[in-house]
Amino acid sequence: MPKIIALQSTDPTLIDLLHEQGYTVIDMYEAHRNRELVDAYLYTTYHPDALTAYHSVAEPTDIILENEGEIDPLPTTLMLNISGLQPEQVLLILGRRL
């Protein structure tokens, strides 16, 4: 299953490189509106509304009292400020951390 990247930037070079590497790229605001669970969140500037909103979506679910089995933890989302990074640098970081 391809990794899903929520991207704040509209850099066509980065978007093309991410697609070439097999990542699914969606707009970060679209991800928020649709409450998408993503593997990485790439932003270009500090944007407190976006970060707060995403973390509110990614909170663990409430414990169901009737269920005695283990609840699978939600996957960890990589939060990465890509300001000043070249597209190739972003790919290297994603390759190491995802």
What's the whole-number mean pLDDT along residues 23-34?
A: 91
Q: What is the pLDDT of residue 18?
A: 97
Query: In percent, how much of the chain has pLDDT > 90?
Result: 48
Q: What is the pTM of this model?
A: 0.69
CA nearest neighbour of 21 among 98, 80, 95: 95
Per-residue CA distances from 82 to 10, 27, 41, 78, 97 (Å): 12, 15, 10, 12, 14
| Distance in angstroms (rounded) separating the CA atoms of residues 50 and 73 | 22
Distance of CA 96 to the CA centre of its chain: 15
Q: What is the pLDDT of residue 21?
A: 96
pLDDT, tens digit, for every residue of 47-89?
555 555 444 444 444 444 444 444 444 568 899 999 999 999 9
In sequence order, which residues have a C-beta less than 8 Å from that of residue 58 and are 6 or more positions away? Answer: 37, 74, 77
